[in-house]
Structure 1
Amino acid sequence: MNTEGSGAGSLLTVTGMVLQAAPAGEYDRRVVLLTRENGRIACFARSARRQGSPLMAACSPFVFGSFRLAAARTSYVITEASVKNYFERLRSDIVTAYYGMYFLEAAEYVTRENNDESQILLLLYRSCQALGSPSFSNRLVRVIFELKLVVLEGEFPGLSEAERALCSESMQYAVHYIASSGIAELYRFQVTEEVLCELERFSASVCRRFFEREFQSLAILKTMEEGADRGGTDG
């Protein structure tokens, strides 16, 4: 983190991703960033909703880059932004976009201000890269993201003896790989549909115990996928 000055009005530069952006006032935006240096922080972007504002495109969910912030009395104000990745692929398909929105919601839920959240930021970045890739099923990306997020939070229960007795060796290997691998190596394997279904059931069980809320984007995603399944059946 680079800082200039101290107290209100001091400047700092952070690297991070926009988790949430909402209107504030007539032309401003309230932006939640997950940063490498300061964890999760809330900021305001003045006039970011004005046509022609240099901050308009940068203050949108999924945007990753460097943000120049001025410290105000109770929050930060974004003064400049240098975008490194817009994740355009997540904006071209509505279902893939909701997978990504779920990842953003989950990351916002578990992170805190002034915590070292650099590993979660990296996981979020790599997972958004993997979404929509022809090399990966979005369902597999979701399972990997969920399980690794719980691992990073120190809450991963592992497979119980009963679960080991019921699941395949391939599923056990996949769970071990996700739990023990570095984030850079996570998206380097494939599984069969049968193993993916096993992973989904296990991950759903883990998430029910770990998350104490339901995510709006996940509820919408489930509705969309159920509708697509019914449409395929009817067709």
Structure 2
Amino acid sequence: MQIETDGLVIMERQVGESDRLITVLTREEGVLRAFARKAKLLRSSKLSATQLLCYSRFLIYKGWDKYIIDDAQPVEVFFDLRRDIGSLSLAQYFCELAGALAPQEAEAGDFLRLLLRAFYYLSKGTRPHLLVKAAVEMRMLSLAGYMPDLVCCAGCACYEAETMLFLPRSGVLYCQSCYSQGAEPAVPLSPGALTALRHTVYADFDKLFAFRLPEAGLWEVARASEAYVLNTLGRSFPTLDFYHQAEPGGRTVPMEGTQTEKMDKG
């Protein structure tokens, strides 16, 4: 059986001297792993189309227990991502996140569209890294079935207060009056940051990256989104750690630094 589909290479590994084993996020088949024979040879038509971060059109043979790439043609190689180490490391983190969250052998068009749009903004440099990162993290988790409840306070249904508290372990909001200190670590959010966090989850896709915040607000949203990823999935990612090393200014506060005891000190 042959499959013709477009997809983004989210992982690659050399096999032997000339073959590649790649992981592709495809529109129709979700995440799949396929062998690209002779893809490392300079004369191979698959050379650029099967490299990491390349968006390509694939002709794939589907066997009983493996996929083999018969042909691959690049559509977009996102060359500009490699001009900036922060953009490159963030794109690699998004790939690893998609590998953990996107479905296998099932339709994944929304996941693919999310990564392609994020790569576009990272390549052009038209959106702050923290904005793109928060939008991708929150929307990808929501697509995977981990949408948080950001509508109102889980205790009194208050929609907005001077400071609201996001609980990344349970994915809910509390106002300061309802939050029980010590019950669970929380990330404080100002009204602007809360609006932006809601936007990453509930906005139409075409408007997902179309919000603006001052730097202080972006840091609040970044703390909340990364904490939600780490708590929801119960793990970190090597590519996320590398992003923080490559772009120290992008490091968000770890969970132990987001508890309300930090608020008390302020």
Using structure 1 for the length normalisation, give the TM-score.
Answer: 0.87
**Does the CA contact (< 8 Å) of 1:136 and 1:190 recur in 2?**
no
Query: After alignment, is 97-106 or 71-80 more displaced?
Result: 71-80
Match of 2:58 in 1: 67
Match of 2:125 in 1: 134
| d(CA) in 1 for partners of 2:227, 2:55 | 31
Q: Which amino acid aligns with 1:194?
A: A
Note closer, same or farther for the CA distance 1:124–1:227 as it changes in structure 2 (3 Å cut). closer
Match of 2:189 in 1: 167
**Does the CA contact (< 8 Å) of 1:122 and 1:183 recur in 2?**
no
| 2:110 maps to 1:114 | no
Question: How far is 1:132 from its partner?
Answer: 4.0
Match of 1:182 in 2: 204
| 2:85 maps to 1:94 | yes
| 2:44 maps to 1:22 | no
**Does the CA contact (< 8 Å) of 2:8 and 2:24 recur in 1?**
yes
Q: Give the one of 32, 36, 40 matched to 2:27.
A: 36
Q: Which amino acid aligns with 2:209?
A: Y
Question: How far is 1:73 from its partner?
Answer: 3.5
**Does the CA contact (< 8 Å) of 1:14 and 1:66 recur in 2?**
yes
Question: How far is 1:225 from its partner?
Answer: 2.5
Question: In the TM superposition, what whole-angstrom CA distance separates every residue of 1:77-113 from its partner, at most 9, and x where no partner exists?
Answer: 1111122111111111122100000000000011232
Match of 2:245 in 1: 223
Q: Give the one of 231, 235, 250 matched to 1:209.
A: 231
Note closer, same or farther for the CA distance 1:95–1:117 as it changes in structure 2 (3 Å cut). same
Question: How far is 1:228 from its partner?
Answer: 9.7
Question: How far is 1:134 from its partner?
Answer: 3.4
Question: In the TM superposition, what whole-angstrom CA distance separates every residue of 1:4-32 from its partner, at most 9, and x where no partner exists?
Answer: xxxxxx22201111111111122110011
Query: In structure 1, the residue corresponding to 2:223 is in which secondary structure?
Result: helix
Query: In structure 2, the residue corresponding to 1:131 is in which secondary structure?
Result: helix
Query: After alignment, is 38-47 or 206-215 more displaced?
Result: 206-215
Match of 1:233 in 2: none
Q: Which amino acid aligns with 1:143?
A: A
Structure 1: give runs of 5+ residues left out of the alignment.
1-9, 230-235
| d(CA) in 1 for partners of 2:247, 2:54 | 26
Query: In structure 2, the residue corresponding to 1:70 is in which secondary structure?
Result: strand
Note closer, same or farther for the CA distance 1:175–1:226 as it changes in structure 2 (3 Å cut). closer
Query: In structure 1, the residue corresponding to 2:149 is in which secondary structure?
Result: coil
Match of 2:213 in 1: 191
Using structure 2 for the length normalisation, give the TM-score.
Answer: 0.77
Question: How far is 1:204 from its partner?
Answer: 2.3
| d(CA) in 2 for partners of 1:228, 1:38 | 33
The alignment of Structure 1 onto Structure 2 pairs a total of residues equal to 220
Structure number having the greater helix percentage: 1
| d(CA) in 1 for partners of 2:37, 2:123 | 33
| d(CA) in 2 for partners of 1:154, 1:167 | 23
| d(CA) in 1 for partners of 2:31, 2:125 | 31
Runs of 4+ aligned structure 1 residues displaced above 4 Å come to: none
Query: In structure 2, the residue corresponding to 1:81 is in which secondary structure?
Result: strand
